[in-house]
A and B are shown apart, each in its own frame.
Chain A
């Protein structure tokens, strides 16, 4: 649906629907904190950014020129081959035994404990990444660079 819908706004709405279903999967997989963060970050922030850009660029009723039919067919074939390769490679995971815990692994307490002890350094690097991204966006967004 994201791929085939004509208007970009419809595409965004289908993508939001897809994100909500993925958040539901996270809930089912005992990752409650991630489900909440996923909805907040993706459906709340990223999709709003996409919608804002689409409306800012005024692409609502634009008829987009499509690629030639040969390229489309080859894209579908390539994607199908990729799917075949994935299913072939990733088969055999059913031999891995399931380790049943108490289902508390995805709670804020456990995740925070791991995040702020074992993964302290990547956390700081992510903060620096955000800072540089913010500076870069402000630089790009300026009308004229000097």
Chain B
């Protein structure tokens, strides 16, 4: 099987994952719905995963893909805990608007 990075330069993948990461950051800054902020965090994690896989293929080493595997595991655990916290917060505040949560500092 041919290596794709012989035909597509790795710079394109770097640019793609930078754009994905920036979209994630933009979403976190832009929206007030906490669930959408979680989704944007997932998007950022995926951008990093894509970059790791691209470099793993570039160097022909499996280590990067193992790290992607671990990042996926951590992301799954994080989403489960985060959504549980969100459901509990919704029970207390009946809202998922992050501007309501600034009472957390009390």
Contact = CB atoms under 8 A, between A and B. Distances in A.
Nearest to B83: A53
Interface of A: 2-3, 8, 11-12, 15, 18-19, 22, 25-26, 28-31, 33-34, 37-38, 41-42, 45-46, 49-50, 53-54, 56-57, 59, 64-67, 71-72, 75-76, 78-80, 82-83, 86-87, 90-91, 93-94, 96, 98-106, 110-111, 114-115, 118-119, 122, 126, 129-130, 133-134, 136-137, 140-141
B81 A93 contact: no
Contacts of A71: 29
**Most chain B Cβ neighbours within 10 Å, of A3, A33, A83, A140:** A3
B65 A111 contact: yes
Given A83-B19, A102-B1, A103-B1, A2 B35 contact: no
B33 A8 contact: yes
B33 A46 contact: no
B97 A38 contact: no
A8 B35 contact: yes
Q: For chain A, what secondary structure do more than half of its interface residues adopt (helix, strand, loop), or is it mixed?
A: helix
B30 A75 contact: yes
A31 B57 contact: yes
A105 B57 contact: yes
| 10 A-B pairs with the lowest CB-CB distances in the bound complex, closest first | A103-B1, A75-B29, A133-B77, A86-B18, A79-B26, A101-B60, A140-B84, A3-B27, A99-B60, A83-B22
